[in-house]
């Protein structure tokens, strides 16, 4: 799970993600050169909460959520997500207890139209 995500460039398409250094996601990004962003809709708060915990990976599932492997990067694309971005890491910047990763979008997929939740839609709070 990432902490912050922001678009930084239209051409080429690039995003940044900030990840707490204590999170398992940080270890995965440090050891690989790709990541995916999996977008959940406003009705999937319970699923989003699940991804705030450490989850087991087994048999094409993470914490019981099935995923496929992205064709452009090999990064996991969760079946429940309504949209995905596959990104290649171009660089990183240390930012206190986080690392900010710059990713170039290698592929984008909209599975179905949906409303993406905002901070105002959920009582979830970022805890680090």
The CATH number for 57's domain is 2.30.110.10
User: Is there a domain that residue 128 lies in?
Assistant: no
Q: Which residues contact 83 (CB under 8 A, 6 or more apart)?
A: 38, 39, 108, 109, 110, 111, 114
- At 66-102, the pLDDT tens digits run 999 999 999 999 999 999 999 999 999 999 999 999 9
Q: Which residues pair with 94 in a beta bridge?
A: 99
Domains in the chain, number: 1
User: Is there a domain that residue 125 lies in?
Assistant: no
- Cα 15-21-25 angle, rounded to 5 deg: 60
Q: How confident is the model at residue 119 (pLDDT cuts 50, 70, 90)?
A: low
Burial class (CB in 10 A: 0-12, 13-18, 19+), 25: middle
User: Is there a domain that residue 85 lies in?
Assistant: yes
User: Is there a domain that residue 127 lies in?
Assistant: no
pTM: 0.84
Structural domain range at position 46: 4-119
């Amino acid at each position: 799970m990432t902490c912050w995500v922001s678009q930084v460039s239209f051409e080429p398409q690039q995003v940044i993600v900030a990840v707490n250094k204590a999170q398992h996601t940080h270890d995965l990004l440090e050891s690989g050169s790709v990541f995916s962003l999996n977008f959940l809709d406003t009705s999937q708060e319970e699923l989003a909460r699940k991804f705030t915990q450490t989850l087991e990976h087994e048999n094409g599932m993470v914490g019981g959520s099935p995923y496929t492997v992205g064709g452009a990067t090999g990064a996991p694309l969760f079946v429940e997500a309504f949209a995905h971005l596959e990104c290649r890491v171009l660089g990183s910047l240390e930012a206190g207890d986080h690392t900010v990763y710059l990713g170039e979008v290698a592929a984008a997929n909209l599975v179905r139209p949906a409303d993406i939740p905002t901070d105002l839609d959920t009582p979830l709070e970022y805890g680090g």
